[in-house]
Chain A
Amino acid sequence: MLEGYLQIALFIAVLVALIKPMGIYLARVFNGERTFLTPVLGGVERGTYRLLRVDPDGEGQDWKAYARSLIVFSLLFWILLYLILRTQGIQPFNPEGFHSGPWDLSFNTTSSFLTNTNWQFYGGETTLTYFAQMAGLAVQNFVSAAVGIAVVAALIRGIVARSGKSLGNFWQDIVRIILYVLLPISVVGALFLVSQGVIQNLSHATVIHTLSGGTQVLAQGPVASQEAIKELGTNGGGFFNVNSAYPFENSSGLTNFFEMLLILVIPAGLTYTYGRMVGSQRQGWAIFSAMFVLFIIGVVVVYIAEQHGTPAEHAAGLHTTAFHGSTGGNMEGKEQRFGIANSSLWTAITTVTSCGAVNAAFESLSGIGGAVPFSNLGYSEVVFGGVGTGLYSMLLYVLLAVFIGGLMVGRTPEYLGKKIGAREIKLVSLGVLFTPLAVLLSAGAASATELGKRSLYAGINPSGFSENLYAYLSQANNNGSAWAGYTGFLQPHAPGNVGAYGITFANLLGGFVMVTARYAPILFVLAVAGALAGKKVSPAGLGTMRTDNPTFVFLLIGIVVLVGALTFFPAILLGPIANGLTSRLF
């Protein structure tokens, strides 16, 4: 395990080293300052503003105007993506001649990619045209990520603003985030991935006559260009059904390391950006520390559990101890080139962030190992979380912690000099509780009625319960990883959509949950930003509760865990932990 821990330590060292440069760069982008790319891209930026009829030097939007632009923008893209998914038969870049799948699947997929979830009931290589992947899904990978980042930029401006109600300009934020952050890193990242073996072409699937005389068909496509933004934007929707476990998406230990960095670099960097923008790096590091502690606990737990192996493996007589030339551990549903350590690390990363890309099969994780993704989702994606979404959700928890801490010591709660009043706390509570509520209602509806049963793979047992709960946890938290057995789409003649049909209940409920659990919290967050913008700042005194020291970090962790545990612990007990506590087989 030592070599595994060394790799994990190396990853963390590189990530931490990237936080400051990334954080500073993002702050410059948010503040409209010059960056090292301005000489190259400044002209494009100004041209885009002219094209969009946006005045970059205008006075900015208040929270309602900002929210309106965001909703209009998202709604338009929902319609476009749905149309793209419904018209596959007439599209170019369709060498396999795929037609569109069922309408309810398109509804689910559209809602999924619009909301940065990338939940997939379908397998990309067997259902989608290259055109739909590129012009439909990959565009949303950029756009939904930019929307999330824009919202956190707006929230930070609201927290900082001492006068005026402006949260910035939505259109300008989107343009700058895509142009200066997402696109350049994706270009470099995609080319690097191709150089390491990730495919990028527009060819027909290749028919191979194998060495021992068989036939193997290898699906092709523009994978690398999608892979880079899929990780960077914490989207997670695989070009292939088995996602980043497939060697054409993730070819080696190096690509795996690189892709994990892409997932975390923006969510982690944003904590530094935050400290810089509020004028105190310690505030940023405090939030980073809380996230980091919860993250590391998850990594270590899942690694130890996976290295131990599973009851089924032991009952079969398999020895899961490591020895020279073998990783040992639970290799069911894992790839040799990643082994136990890198599959475990990835599993933790993809579930603390709202990425949801996987490089190993979640349903085959050990009971306790599987409890980690569950808990990470149960924290409502505030441990790094999605790009932007993670930090803005965490900031809601910060305000909640300030409020609760203030109650405990009997003071008016203040954050960065601004009084937190009844209106803010109401909005914060709604924002914090909306997602868990959406999870429990939808997962409950699906498991309490016959309608959800058709989607189960494992049947009525702890694994089946896990599938169902995880499906709605993942969709409501806009994560998109799956306890893979749960289905809403059946495809008897794959590849291709001939004879394929959807499970309408799962598709519609999931789509509805993804959309509401994305946009309702965004509206609450923008409303909080609006309420804080322009508030008077009182100087910190002796009685002010500090929000940049270990005590506060501890309080913040406690509140995140408490809200998550109170909401989900009973349900998680019934699923993975029931599996983990017994050596019984079902």
Chain B
Amino acid sequence: MMQGLRKDLTTGVIALVAMTIALGLVYPLAITGISQVFFSGSADGSKVSYDGKVVGSHLIGQEFKGKAYFHSRPSATGYSGNVTYFGNEGPNSVETREEIREELKAYVQLNKPYDHSLTREDVPVDAVTQSASGVDPDISEANAEIQAHRIAAVRHLSLGKVEELISQNTDSRSLGVLGEPGVNVLELNIALEEEAPLR
């Protein structure tokens, strides 16, 4: 018994060192090396540029305020990209109700002047609920469609043109079937800036 234990300890210590080196250093560093060579864009975070400067990541949503931009989904974290947590708004919580009520009111107030038929019933769920990551890069097509009226008026573009930009910046379902379509807010706003700069 003692001899078996001693043998196990020896083998165990060797295994510990070998596996930590092989699985903990060689494996991740090799993956990093290969990724940096073949997929450097996505390995470094799918960054997108405007006017020659990096302004964000295709995959990470950011905050947009005011009338001239499409707005991202509400975020519990202030769109943080380095301190993430869930909003944890419970299904039966008064707080959740108040939060969503506020968001609904603000959303209708912001967009109704440009889309007179807009009522609370028309507001898609994603527009007033917090995303899981806090940095959801996408909004639903219905959400973009409503905001398009505002953007067209503020940027002096035709509604048709804005809708065209929306469809150009919509990530459809992967392979046509997987997931849900989403309009990439950052890419869409960049396209707007290129089409009709504010200044």
Question: Which of B69, B93, B141, B173: most chain A Cβ within 10 A?
Answer: B93
Which of A185-204 touch B at CB < 8 Å? 186-187, 190-191, 194-203
Contacts of A319 in B (CB 8 A): 120-121, 123, 125
Is there an interface contact between A191 and B14, defined as CB atoms closer than 8 Å?
no
Which chain B residue lies CB-closest to A255? B174
A281: Cβ under 8 A from any B Cβ: no
Is there an interface contact between B128 and A190, defined as CB atoms closer than 8 Å?
no
Question: Which of A195, A309, A330, A370: most chain B Cβ within 10 A?
Answer: A195
B62 contacts which of A77, A211, A339, A579 (Cβ < 8 Å)? Answer: A211
Which of B164-197 touch A at CB < 8 Å? 171, 173-175, 177-180, 182, 186, 189-190, 193
Is there an interface contact between A125 and B133, defined as CB atoms closer than 8 Å?
no
Is there an interface contact between B140 and A325, defined as CB atoms closer than 8 Å?
yes
Is there an interface contact between B36 and A585, defined as CB atoms closer than 8 Å?
no
Q: A295-339 interface mask toward B, CB cutoff 8 Å, 1 = contact, 0 = none?
A: 000000000000001111101111110011111111111111111
B115: Cβ under 8 A from any A Cβ: no
Segment among A131-139, A376-384, A503-511, A537-545 that sits at the interface with chain B: A131-139
Question: Which of A218, A309, A494: most chain B Cβ within 10 A?
Answer: A218
Interface size of B as a range: 35 or more
A500: Cβ under 8 A from any B Cβ: no
With A214-B63, A218-B82, A331-B126 given, is the CB distance from A245 to B132 under 8 Å? yes
Is there an interface contact between A219 and B121, defined as CB atoms closer than 8 Å?
no
Contacts of A248 in B (CB 8 A): 45, 59-60
Question: In the docked arrangement, what's the CA distance between A245 and B88, Å?
Answer: 14
Is there an interface contact between A191 and B35, defined as CB atoms closer than 8 Å?
yes
Contacts of A65 in B (CB 8 A): 4
With A242-B133, A312-B93, A586-B94 given, is the CB distance from A200 to B43 under 8 Å? yes
Which of A201-225 touch B at CB < 8 Å? 201-203, 205-206, 208-212, 214, 216-220, 222, 224-225
B160: Cβ under 8 A from any A Cβ: no
A333 contacts which of B34, B39, B42, B86 (Cβ < 8 Å)? Answer: B86
Question: Which of A196, A222, A326: most chain B Cβ within 10 A?
Answer: A326
Q: From residue B75, how far is it (CB to closest CB) to chain A in Å? A: 11
Is there an interface contact between A210 and B97, defined as CB atoms closer than 8 Å?
no
Known: A139-B20, A211-B64, A330-B125. 12 other contacts (CB 8 A): A125-B82, A139-B19, A139-B23, A224-B35, A245-B133, A248-B45, A312-B93, A318-B100, A329-B125, A334-B132, A367-B91, A586-B93
Ordered by A's residue number, 12 sampled pairs between the chains whose C-beta atoms are within 8 Å are A54-B11, A216-B80, A245-B131, A313-B96, A315-B97, A325-B124, A325-B142, A326-B142, A364-B86, A364-B87, A365-B91, A484-B86
